[in-house]
Every structure is written in structure tokens, then in C-alpha cells.
A and B are shown apart, each in its own frame.
Chain A
């Protein structure tokens, strides 16, 4: 196994593109190293992108935030301006693994590991995050909801690297939240995950909303019908019930060791309501 740690994304992309064997990108390594040690993966090339400044930096841009793909959950939590505007996303990243894991694990890694249960992904989708991708043919943008296609399958071409994510400028009276269901209290994987981001107008009516579900389908879902149920409402019980029904209708889960189809579908509705109420509370304060 060859290890490389180039200084630029262009060099990294070139290394990845020219490797004939299996090549992997290393950010925090909390998934990759475990997979290598347990012999699930044995890549010929590992390219560490952490020497590239863009991947390790949080900066304000166009009124929003650009977050490097290899910035850790712990670093997100320590960024007070980010945490104030996107508390749901920061909390989602800090549900991943344990405290130790949160000191390494990144948004880029959580997405590119390709698990439908990744905690930060529904939060990013709800936030409307857009990934900036560098590849052998230059740079392009892709919405986070369009990146993961199926378990372990991404819409990235050979040699492409997610460099950073742009979170858009936030309107006043906006809030986001992420909740997941796990059988214990921590150090677990979502049986269902739900991210909600919404904006209220001056009268307290929902002007914009995005709802995303994790672990209920082969890929994290952006559930537009659930958002529609909220938009134009005061987010009252009727709207919440309608949203929950839409969330349940969007679920295409599997029966597995972590939960049944029936359970996941039920809980998706429950979590959607609970998450929306937290986002609402934050939007009212914001």
C-alpha cells in the first residue's frame, strides 16, 4: 500500500486518477482505517488530503460558510459563528462515533464513506449544502443530495475529490436540527436519521423548508413532500402530521439487524415531527 500526502488538490486528483489499482482518499480515517484493518478494503494507494489548506479550513463566504471536507466534528463544534447559524449540522457531526472519533471524523469522510445512515449527511442535505469537487478536469459543484447514489456508490468520477462544502447564506428566522434514533444513548449508528431546516416569515409562517431522512432507503433522501407540508403553515399539529405522513411515504427501508421496515417507517415520522419542532424553536429565536 502506497501512502501519499500532496499539498494541492490538483496533485491529489492526479495521483488518484493515475492509480490503476484501488485508490482511497484519507481524511479523518475513522472509516477507512477500520476497513483496511478488518480487510474489507486493501487499497493500493491512499491519498491523504489534509495537507491541502482548503480541506481543513472553515471560512465565511458569500454570507454563508465554506467548510473544508476534512474539518473535524470537534472543530465544527468549536466554531462559534458556525454553531450559531447551523446548530443542527454541528450537532449531527458530533453524534458520529465517540468523542475520540469526533476529533478525527469529517463531513467529507462521513459522506464519501457511502453509508445511508451517515449522521451528518441528512443535516447537510437539509442545510442545502453544495460540495465543491476537484478532479482531473477541474472544479465543479454538486448538491450534497446528489452525491450518494447507493450504499458505497457515489456520483464522483475517478480522481475526483470533495474539497469543501458551501452552506448558503441564512435568512433571518431560520433554524435547523438533526435527530437520530439509536437503541442506546451514544456510540451507535442511526436506525433512522432526520435533518430539518426551515425559515419563518415575519408572521411566523413557514416560508422555506428542507427535510432529509437517513437510514430509511439506499441513500439519504431529500423529502420534498415533507417540506411542502410545512411551507405555508404555522407548523401546527396538522402540518406536522402531514409532514410525518410524507416522511413515512418516502421511506424505502430494509429489514436488518438494526431495525425492521415497519419500525423504521414509523420512527421516520416520529423523528421528522420532533426534529421540525426543534428547528422551529430555533427559527423563532433566530
Chain B
């Protein structure tokens, strides 16, 4: 690991303490979604559609209910319909009409795996028998899987009567295109006229799953008085509460949601699937109902992100100045609208300071599971296409790909095509760090090629609450509400310790439930260290203020005559030196006698999130006889603002790169002509195993975010944006062939090499 670019000026921030949740995780004590069990619980199971598209004519549950041990069955009839209304959830919008239909099919089943009924029984075997006993009568409809096919005028219509939004005048005929979006800056036609070289390319990508190791799991328990508890693995328990209360028609206060430890989410756990079903089954039986997906169910009925068809055209002058960038993005949304095509459009050219940009996006339905957020949703797809064209431009101009990017790099003051002007950003710094890195200047072996690509992600803030309580012995308990996926508890405890000038070990961070803490939006948008960090600092400063007040009371001097000086509470001004300075622990001891418990609350809507740019370098080696690509060296360079806990920043960099390598080389959803998924398991859906990856080197660049007390930028998502283009560029050099389709699996690469040899 390369050390930090800057020397930390803090005591705690920038160090690498052991994470507070580490021991329980490595010993197996930590409780994940499926580790929670309640006395008397029933087993819940879901009956899923075997067809990709069919009208449900009838559902007969009587034989299932007649089985001994079957306690309840729920179908579409158990849920009140929801009107069409879009509300924000994570970085995407949700429509409760669709959320309901995704949880339980109503008029039609829209993908293989779509839930049609759920049962609760006293054993797994009985629950399975009950599923077999449910009789569903389907009218099978023609289906469509591919995004380009789905846009054709004669394609089967997934959502009856859907009219494209964003087109003037509105179309009169229904189609599978839910929405058209457009972002324009300057005049691309003018830009292309100024260009000496114009390159135009079409790319295709496949849907890929988030691939979290922990499947969805929950326990719902509804009491006889209508109050309910839900234990679930989620990226946002307040969102889970809101969705469940809405779908079930309950008051939010009656539902208490606890988030378990989470075994990966990557955006895919910002959605409810099993939770409303478990609660509905428990409401019928008044017994706890535990539900867990199998891996097959995870693949067939959760996630993934979109597959897409992307067209990119870029113009450039001989000196490397990019004169225009244009793109058309067609993203699969799955069976309901809401693909990440809009952020995809906004990201497409974001790493560059361009005068002329036009990006058009289409949100397209097909008979696949509804996509869920996946790490920088939409960004990796559009930036893969744009960065692949940038690499080709560098090659055609005979220019170093870093120099070409430096010439056009976004910097402070650059107006992004999607609207805002950037504040201080680290694109140039990342490129410079790449240029001087050992990797970029290192040797290449036979059949190897090196590629480089940049990436961008916005990052968000949002509603956040943190409670910080000063315990009697001077230690603190920190309660946050953004589920800890990547080392959040460590980072928050570090910021609290830094602020309060106490040892890191004196702060015990936990994640609170929805009834013990104010509202928290999801862990998503790389927001949790930024937003919960801001709230932590606010809560800590409140503790300091209250402690100073208590000292003033003890010393019988005015509050404004007490100061906080690097961990000590001191009398100031005329009173300076009159009283012995006190520490927080001294105040803690007498808190009860001076006004009661000292609790700091940070309840904010976090503003000032700053984007993070990254640059990745990939070396790949091709087996010329089989087309198999192996990544032999890989470096992630990314602007972290300030790395609070550098080891977890590096972990995020490496994790994003690992997922990107899978996306680039082997991961894809494979459908048969019957519209059924053929590889619903980790055997044939190939995420990389450890031996597939080189050690992923990291360089943390630090361009502090001026709008955070510790300079934090979100870093979790950007790391998955550059890998596909970096690997594509490295593969082009290793094989001598440019490819325009993901994944770069051996049969495709070998075929491309053979065809190039023939030509």
C-alpha cells in the first residue's frame, strides 16, 4: 500500500485503529440477517413465477392452507393497491404502485421469479409442500429480454398502456420506453465541426448483480395489538419502515425496524422484497415469520443493475482538445421503470471540462427483475463507453492517454454538463499521481497490455441523525443510523475522538434502530461517512458546549467565560487560571448533580457532499490460444478528500476494483430463448474468486472537501466506475483488437482475435 500523500495533521483521523465490529465478525458472533431467531417463529417461503411474462388468471391457495403446519398464505389479495407516485429512495426514485407489484405480482407476472404467493409454515419442508400445493393459472404472454428488442415497435409491451415521458409531443402508442432524458451543454454540432478527429462507437453491456455474499433475510413479528418488529439486513431501516408501513397501511410508529450486520449491499439492499411479506404473514398468524432467500432467488428476483446499449461520438483536435461529446444511452430498467439512466447520462462526460456535450438517455422496460441500485448506479456503464472512446482517441492521436486526459480534465470551476460548477476536485491530482506511479512506469510482459481510465461519482448528503451520550466514566456511546457496510463505526468513533480529544477506544459506536434514533436516510450515495460524520461532529460539539456549561455552573462563572482548549475545559478571560481545568471525564462524574445526563444530538440534512474522481491502471495478459484474459497488475488512484481510516478507504478502492474486474471479464445474466435465467448461481455467474485477482494496489489522493470539518468525500462508489474501460483498454493492447462489448469472456475474445487475424 502506498502511504497517504499528505501527512495527517490530526491525532486520530488518518490512523488505522482496529474496527470496533471486527472481533465479532471474525469470530462469527456478529448477527447477520439470517442469524436472528425468535421463539415460535414460522418459516416463510415465496412461490415464484416460472414464466417471464404471463397474466395471472387465478390463484387457488386452498390446498396449501389445508396442509397441517401451514399457518398462513398471502397473495395479491392481501395487499391494498397503491397509486402511482414517485418518491426518493437512495439515489433512485420509487413508485409505490411498482414497489407493491415487485413485492407481489398483481395483474401479471413480469419476470421469471416474480413472487405470486408467500406461505408461513411450521417447517421448511411443510412450507415447500405448501408452495407446491398452490395452484396458479397463467395466461402466458410473449416476452422481451433485450433492451434493443424491447424498444422495437412490435415488441411485447411489459406495462400495459405505458406512454414515454420526456418526448414532445407525447407518443400516442404505448411502448416499453418509460422515459427519455436529455442533458445538453453548448452545441455538439459546432464542436464536431471544429474537430480534426471524430470517433463514433456503439457498446453493449450485460446486467450484473451486486453479488453481496449475504442473501436477503428478515424476521417479522406482529403482536396482537398491532405493533410490530422487523429484523432485516438492509442499507436503510428507516426506508424499510416507510416502505413496509406504506404497503401494509400501518402507522410508522407501530413498526420498529432493526438492521442486522450486513454482508454486503452495494445498493441492492435499499429495496424491500421479503420484509412486507414476512410482516403480512406474521400479521395473520401473530407468530414471528422468518424468511431468507436462496442464492437462486437472489439472482432471479433481486438486483441487478442495467445492461445497456450505448452509442458515443467524440470529436477532438490534433492537440488533444476534446471539442464535443455526444452519447445515447439505452438502459434496461427491468420490469418496472427506474433504471439509473439519468445518473448514467450525468456521469458520462463528467471527468472532462467540455464546451459541447449532449447526452440522451432512455429508460426501457423488459421482462427481467427490476434493477436495483448498484455502486455508482448508471455511472460505470456510460463511463465505460466514453472512456473506451477516449482511449481510442489517444491511440489514434499518438498521445499518452494520461496527457490527453490532463488536457481535458475537469477542475475547480468546470461547469459539468449536468449543471453544477465543480468546487475543488481531484481529477488532475489523480492523473498526476497515476503518471508518477510505479505501476504506470513499470514493465509489461509478453501478451500483456496496459490500460487506464478515469471515473466520477457525485456522492450525496441527506437526512442523518447521530446520538452521542457521555457515560458516567467519561466514555461515550455513539449511536448512528446509517447501517455500517464498510467501516463506518470505526470512522465515526475516530471523528468523535478527534473532536473530543479522547482516545478512540473510549467511544463505542453502535447502529440504532428506527425507534431509538431520529430519521436516517439509507447508506447509499457514498454518504454515510460524510453525513453521519457531520452529524457526529455536531453531536460532539454539543457535548463540549454542554460540558462547558456544567463547568460554568460548578465554578459559578458565566458560560461564555469557559473555553474548550484541546480537550480541557478552562476558565477564560478574567477567570483564567482561577480554577483547575476539567476534562470531559471530570464533568461526566458530576453530570448527574449538575443537570443530568449529557447527550449530544446531531440531527441534520447533510449538505456539501463533494464528488470523487478516480483513475485506474490495469494490466491484462491474454492467452492467445484461448482468449482468456488475466489481470496481472491493478492500481486504484482516487481522491478521498481526507481518508479518515485509510485502511477502509483502501478496502473500498479494492472492493470496487474487484467488482469491476468481474463486470469486465465474466459477469453476465444469461437468458434462454424461454426468457429464463440460465445462470442463477455463483458457479455460472462468475464473480472473481480470490485467486482470479492480483493484489490491488491503491494510492489515496487527498484534495479535502472544504464543506466537511475533516475534508471527507464519499469514496465507496467511484471505485467501480473506471475498471471496465481500463481493462478494455488493456485488453485492446494485449490482444491487438478493440472490443465493444462486455463481458470480455474467453469465447468472445478468442473470436475477436481470430477475426482480426483473418482481416
Contacts and interface: CB of A to CB of B under 8 A. Distances in A.
Interface of A: 38-39, 181, 183-189, 191, 256-260, 262-263, 266-267, 270
Contact of A39 (B128, B627, B666, B745): B128
8 contacts: A181-B626, A183-B628, A185-B689, A185-B692, A189-B683, A257-B670, A260-B751, A270-B625
Contacts of A187: 683, 689
A263 B670 contact: no
Nearest to B683: A189
Contact of A267 (B626, B679, B683, B688): B626
Given A183-B666, A270-B625, A270-B626, A257 B691 contact: no
Contacts of A185: 689, 691-692
B686 A186 contact: no
Interface in B438-486: none
Q: Which among A183, A259, A263 has the highest number of chain B CB atoms within 10 Å?
A: A183
Interface string B658-689: 00000001100010000000110001101011
A258 B128 contact: no
Interface of B: 128, 296, 625-628, 665-666, 670, 678-679, 683-684, 686, 688-689, 691-692, 745-747, 750-751
B745 A183 contact: yes
Contacts of B745: 183
B751 A257 contact: no
Contacts of A186: 689, 691
B17 to A, nearest CB: 33
The A interface, classified by DSSP as helix, strand, loop or mixed, is loop
Q: Which among B128, B683, B688 has the highest number of chain A CB atoms within 10 Å?
A: B683
B750 A263 contact: yes
The 5 closest A-B pairs by CB, nearest first: A263-B747, A185-B691, A270-B625, A257-B670, A257-B678
B689 A184 contact: yes
Nearest to B665: A183
B296 to A, nearest CB: 8
A259 B748 CA distance: 9
B310 to A, nearest CB: 24
The B interface, classified by DSSP as helix, strand, loop or mixed, is loop
B19 to A, nearest CB: 28
Contact of A262 (B626, B684, B692, B751): B751
Contacts of B746: 181, 183, 191, 259, 263
A181 B686 CA distance: 14
A53 to B, nearest CB: 34
B666 A184 contact: yes
B128 to A, nearest CB: 7
B752 to A, nearest CB: 12
Contacts of B128: 39
Contact of A258 (B625, B684, B688): B684
Nearest to A262: B751
Nearest to B749: A263
A185 to B, nearest CB: 4
Contacts of A189: 683-684
A184 B692 contact: yes
A38 B297 CA distance: 12
Contacts of B627: 263
Nearest to A273: B625
Contact of B747 (A39, A188, A259): A259
Contacts of A257: 670, 678-679, 684
Contacts of B750: 263, 266-267
A252 B665 CA distance: 27
Contacts of A266: 625-626, 750
Contacts of A188: 683, 686
A184 B626 CA distance: 12
A183 B686 contact: yes
A162 to B, nearest CB: 25
A266 B679 CA distance: 24
B46 to A, nearest CB: 14
A188 B747 CA distance: 16
Nearest to A192: B626
B420 to A, nearest CB: 41
Given A257-B678, A262-B747, A263-B751, 15 more contacts: A39-B128, A184-B666, A184-B688, A187-B689, A188-B683, A188-B686, A189-B684, A256-B678, A257-B670, A257-B679, A258-B684, A263-B747, A266-B626, A267-B750, A270-B626
A188 B685 CA distance: 10
B315 to A, nearest CB: 37
Contacts of B747: 259-260, 262-263
Contacts of B628: 181, 183
Contacts of A263: 627, 746-747, 750-751
Contacts of B689: 184-187
A22 to B, nearest CB: 17
A21 B746 CA distance: 43
A266 B625 CA distance: 8
A167 to B, nearest CB: 30
Contacts of A38: 296
Q: Which among B678, B683, B692, B747 has the highest number of chain A CB atoms within 10 Å?
A: B747
A184 B691 CA distance: 8
Nearest to A186: B691
Nearest to B681: A38
Q: Which among A39, A256, A260, A266 has the highest number of chain B CB atoms within 10 Å?
A: A266
B690 to A, nearest CB: 9
Contacts of A258: 684
A188 B684 CA distance: 8
A256 B128 CA distance: 30
A59 to B, nearest CB: 35
Nearest to B128: A39
A187 B690 CA distance: 11
A39 B691 CA distance: 31
A266 B750 CA distance: 9
